[in-house]
Structure 1
Amino acid sequence: MHRTTLAFLLVPALLLTSCSGGTTTGLFDRRTPRERYLASLQAAGLGDTALVRDWIAAGETALLQPQDGRLPLNSEIRQGRAEPRAWGYRLPLQRGRRLRVELTVAGSEPAIVFVELFNAADLLKPIAASSREEVRLEQEIYRDGTYILRIQPELLRGDALRIVQRTTASLTFPVSGRTSSAVKSFFLDPRDNKRRDHHGIDIFAPRNTAVVAAAGGLVTQVGTSTLGGNVVWIWDAGRQQSHYYAHLHTQAVAPGDLVDAGAVVGYVGNSGNARTTLPHLHFGIYSRGEGPIDPLPFVRE
């Protein structure tokens, strides 16, 4: 039987599985939308058809032989109706970045496109997957490494796809009205004639510019120290990190306060050992079990 004829005969069953989502998944079903879709094809008796086998093989090839991806990416990809395809992109990603993938499907017919992100060291289970309702994926990166992004439309959907991939900051920039261009001193820069390293970034802004919480959390300490001057510590439980705001002119929170991302926690100054410099915020991130880590990937646009 020719492939196109087989595809024509499979249309009613495929439409049924696409619309129904297959068998009942239950409240605690941890399968991805793609895994549930494949299970519905198999439950409908289509798992051994050449078209479905080709679709599975295309998905595996996309993971094992991905193309190098460069971010940001804005490109168009196409699939023929009787030509199962999948696309894989190898992405080097930094901890603290947020990967955003958005797809636009051409044509008037509704279509499902499965978007999944894998750690290249473990291709058995994606760390993130798009839902059936949205052709988009958003995931914060928690570890430096190489990741594989797989994009695969459901069967018998032949249209152009516009794909936009980019990374953004995962935290709110901690100085109001400023961007990463205001960072003038960086993580691990030498200090005190190379006797110590700089454990943060310095963001320069006029005195009394608002300093805002980079993430929501619990204010654990508000005080004064020789190096940091007027300081605020905020615990980000979700990321298991302490965020450190130093050289403040004044503080605007108290220990025990719960703050949202973007809430004012103090104002830019040059207290502590920064009294001979221009006003700036020293912003540091201390990860539980690790110590200081580079804040810049977390806040860079």
Structure 2
Amino acid sequence: MDVRSVTSPTMPRHGDAVVNLPTVPVEHGVRADIEIRTRPTVSLVIPARNEASNIAWVLEQVPDCVDEIVLVDGRSTDATIVTARSVRPDIRVVHQEGVGKGDALRAGFLASTGDTIVMIDADGSMAPQEIPHFLYYLSHGYDFVKGSRFMAGGGSLDITRLRRTGNQVLMRLASRLYEAPLTDLCYGYIAFHRRYLDYVDLTTTGFEVETRLVISALQSGLRMTEVPSMEMPRRYGKSNLRVVRDGTRVLRTLLRTHENGVSGYAVQRARAWAHHRQTPAVTAVPAVTSVAAAPSTPSAGS
């Protein structure tokens, strides 16, 4: 798998592919060389549920390179939608029908229209100012770009010791199983070309969705790279993340989709054995045949 970690403190502005038109005759001082600059359109997908205290800050930081913002609202009971529209009247609001972060992202991806899709959280933990950094590598040959808190230039001001340990264990397992030198696994700052939407798995519903996106991109042969990202503390409110519960779901996701090599065979055999043990045995019930009662025989002497 082609996964490369890169750092780039400075970079050109995103997009700007130059198309040179055929040379035309010079008339009245008009330049003979005409250049038309075009760039892919960018959709930013933000899943949110009761983030009225945070969404305004996030939307105010979105850079001009983003053409469309899709807010997926998960049945918020606060003023999330009203606040978002007051900051960005052009925002598109999608009402989530299912539950879970994975379901929200799926709804947002399908509703977006940009050539490039970027996903971030609504709690202020991810800086929208980093978006051009992701787009730069998408415009220079990569198909799928993910943020990393644990490579040079990245970091986290929010992660606990337990979360860091769990992420490192899961990340090393993923790197071993899928032969990809990852430095971060459970981080949801991701960007990819829309043309690969059919190749990323959107079937998971919970917080393990980031892991499933990465694994499906690797299995589909997408050219992937990591870029440094700084995770900030959630600005207001309490996170819905549950370390043990969601970590277990990530582990199941890693094992469920690993099928390559000897280890893949062993994992799938173990899963099949465990499934067989959990399936209750069905006891055969003998068929009952109804026999008509024989007419009674009169006793002798009756």
Q: Normalising by the residue count of structure 2, what TM-score does the alignment of the two structures yield?
A: 0.25
More helix by share: 2
More strand by share: 1
Q: Rg bigger for which structure?
A: 2
Which of 1 and 2 has higher RCO (CA within 8 Å, sep 6+)? 2
